[in-house]
Amino acid sequence: MPTVLPPHRPSYADPQLRAVGLIAAMMMLVALLAGVLLARAQTRYRMRPRGGELIGATFAPIGAGSIVVDSVRADGPARRGGLRVGDVVEAVGGLRVPSVEAADRALLRPDLDIRVRRGKRDVDLHLEAAGESAHGQQDPVDRR
């Protein structure tokens, strides 16, 4: 009668096999942790409001330390307040805004006084961007 050998079982005491298993487990743990951290960072970034979104306008950098109105939403307070595409933003609330990021931070306030250069003249605008009833108005001197 032939001799029947038991099926071969891998030896978990083998140091090389154990090292490969530990390395694979650590790599999966690192990938999982990186995925969780990336998802949290993206969620925080998306949840942070941007001032341009609140007033319905986008901005683009031009030259060193200047920004221009890139687009204006038709139903936003920026349009109602007289902001136009091509306006160069001089100041928000009396403070210069040298970058798009600085403008987005400055535009988070509910009441905004914005000075823009339109062609060869300065135009002062007042926008109220608080809540759904946001509206804007130009200084009467600038309505021509």
What are residue 138's DSSP bridge partners? 125
Q: Residue 46's pLDDT is what?
A: 57
pLDDT of residue 84: 93
Topology classification of domain 51-142: Pdz3 Domain (2.30.42)
Give residue 137's pLDDT: 46
Count of C-beta atoms within a 10 Å radius of residue 115: 17
**In the prediction, which pLDDT does 85 show?**
94
- What are the sequence ranges of the domains in the chain? 12-48, 51-142
| Region of residue 73 (left: phi > 0; alpha: psi -120 to 50; beta: else) | beta
Give yes or no for a contact between 92 and 112, defined as CB atoms under 8 angstroms apart: yes
pLDDT average per 10 residues of sequence, the chain (144 residues): 68 75 93 89 64 85 88 89 92 89 85 90 84 45 43
Q: What was the pLDDT predicted at 134?
A: 42
Extended beta strands in 27-65, E state = 57-62
pLDDT confidence of residue 27:
95
At 34 the pLDDT is 92
